[in-house]
Amino acid sequence: MEEIFDRQKLLIGEEKLQSLHQKTVAIFGLGGVGSYVAEGLARSGIGNFIIIDNDKIDVTNINRQIIATTKTIGRFKVDVAEERIKEINSSANVIKYAEFVGKENENIELFDSIKNVDYIVDAIDTVSSKLRIIEFAKANNIPVISALGTGNKLDPTKLKLADIYDTKICPLAKVMRKELKRRGITSLDVVYSEEEPIKICNNEVEGSKENNAKKIGSIAYVPSVAGLFISYKVVSEFIK
């Protein structure tokens, strides 16, 4: 199976390639961004994954999530992502949790399992869950990177890697900065967009329990590029 990574070995060498096989990355969220993080890392030779997502694949995911196809609708994202990782690299180890990251006293087994990972990727949407993941990573001296908003964006060239305190325009970054300051967290690697959010029309969710809820627009090539940016950041830190 090692020939899978022959072209990569030409770039980074045998020693660094072997080190990637030993690394463990925890990925929270397997949506438009997170599914491409898993894809990029699997194809880069990361050997161990812990993947976390409580959602099942919906037909509306197909336009932007690499694990979403007409054949995978209705299946848990963690199950499909595990299969895809192993189809890329059958030697990879995958631990999966079909869980939502809740309050401090929840997900005990999950958080125990990631205490010694080499990197944590936060690719989820819920602010309270993101903050819990980030606080955990910082408390345990685990490198962490967060994906900020890619919804209502059309231009992947406006995506950037930065510290959250150097971001601008992104509404989610503004909220996160405030909450991180309150918690005494002074730095956080993020992928974010400097594109102004697109104003979309006719976005009331019909037939929803929350009739006033709004859909967030998304296109294939923005969250995917954000996910690949994150995989680049993780791998580049490992091979320094």
pLDDT at 209 over 60: no
pLDDT value, residue 202: 58
Residue that wins the pLDDT comparison between 213 and 125: 125
Q: What is the CATH number of the domain that holds 164?
A: 3.40.50.720
- The sign of the dihedral angle between the CA atoms of 41, 42, 44, 46 is positive
What H or E segment, with its residue span, contains residue 87? helix 77-88
Domain that holds residue 125: 2-238
Where does 90-228 show beta strands of DSSP type E? Answer: 93-97, 119-122, 144-147, 159-163, 189-193
Task: Calculate the average pLDDT of the chain.
Answer: 94
What is the arithmetic mean of pLDDT over 44-68? 98
pLDDT beyond 90 at 83: yes
Number of structural domains, the chain?
A: 1
Distance CA 78, CA 223 (A): 18
DSSP helix/strand/coil, 164: helix
Q: Which residues contact 187 (CB under 8 A, 6 or more apart)?
A: 163, 164, 165
CA-nearest of 36, 183, 27 to 110 is 27
Residues 6+ apart with CB under 8 A from 15: none
Question: Are the C-beta atoms of 35 and 227 separated by less than 8 Å?
Answer: yes
Q: How distant is the alpha carbon of residue 68 from its chain centre?
A: 15
Q: What residues contact residue 85 under an 8 Å CB cut-off, 6+ apart? A: 38, 42, 49, 92, 94
Region 182-206: what's the mean pLDDT? 85
What kind and span of H or E run contains 180?
helix 171-182
